[in-house]
Amino acid sequence: MKHMALTLRVNGQDRQILVSPSKTLLEVLREDLNLTGTKHGCELGECGACTVLVSGKPLLACLVPVAQIDGAEITTIEALGGPSNPDPLQVEWARLGAAQCGYCTPGFVMSAKALLDGNPNPTRDEIKEAISGNLCRCTGYHKIVEAIENVAQQQQVSKVINAVTIASRQTTAVEVRD
């Protein structure tokens, strides 16, 4: 079958690939780009393990023929950070033991990331809704919800601290001018 030359923007980098149009984004990420953080589970859209962000929205990489997203911005778990520079979600996941076997974790973290990017202060129901497309067969849902809640709270707190810091700096600047 005829191959297609595509440019994918993955985690901020342009990646040129030559693929069959019948390859899914999941296959390309894992097999052509060696980004194996995104997991393959059911491969039929029923588990959420392969969740990635396409233009900021969570989608299932197993159901997207790669030719369909030529040019879109793709974000995978690798973009969030690694052992030396983890994302707050990854830190909290590890701290609470929200990963048991860990297979569903990348998908869950990407769903959580999309939620907090759009809604920095979600309710518990909104969190449950946001991760309702991800299955954890170790059934560790409580810790997952708590991890997301904690990160949201931390971000709210740091926002307040930043605001106070900026306000106090401005006050100082005014005083100096006086």
Partner 1 sequence: MLRLPEFEYAAPTTVAEATRLLHERGTKAMLLAGGTDLIPNLKRRQFRPELVVALHKVEALRGIQERSGRLVIGPLATLAEVAAHPAIRSQYPALANAAAMIGTPQLRNQGTLGGNLFLNTRCSFYNQLEEWRNSDGSCLKAEGGKCQVAPGGKRCWAVSSSDTAPVLAALGAELRLVRHDDERMVPVAALYRDDGINYLAVQPGEMLTEVLLPVAGTWDRTAFLKLRRRGTFDFPILNVAGAVKFGAGNVVERISVMLGAVGSTPMAIDAQKLFAGKPLDNAAATAALQTQAGKRATPLPNTDASHVWRKRMVRVYTARILKELAT
By CB under 8 A, residue 122 contacts partner 1:
no
- Region near partner 1 per CB under 8 A, out of 50-58, 93-101, 149-157, 167-175: 50-58
Q: Which residue in 68, 119, 123, 170 binds partner 1 (CB under 8 A)? A: 68
Q: Are the C-beta atoms of residues 128 and 119 closer than 8 Å to each other? A: no
Residues in the chain: 178
Q: For 125-176, give the DSSP string.
A: HHHHHHTTT---TT--HHHHHHHHHHHHHHHHHHHHHHHHHHHHHHHHHHHH
Cβ neighbourhood burial of 75 (10 Å; 0-12, 13-18, 19+): buried
Q: Which residue in 65, 86, 96, 100 binds partner 1 (CB under 8 A)? A: 65
Q: Which residue in 101, 117, 121, 129 binds partner 1 (CB under 8 A)? A: 129
Q: Which residue in 63, 91, 94, 96 binds partner 1 (CB under 8 A)? A: 63
Q: Which residues bind partner 1 (CB under 8 A)?
A: 1-2, 4, 20-24, 27, 40, 43-46, 48, 51, 57-60, 62-65, 67-68, 111, 129-130, 132-134
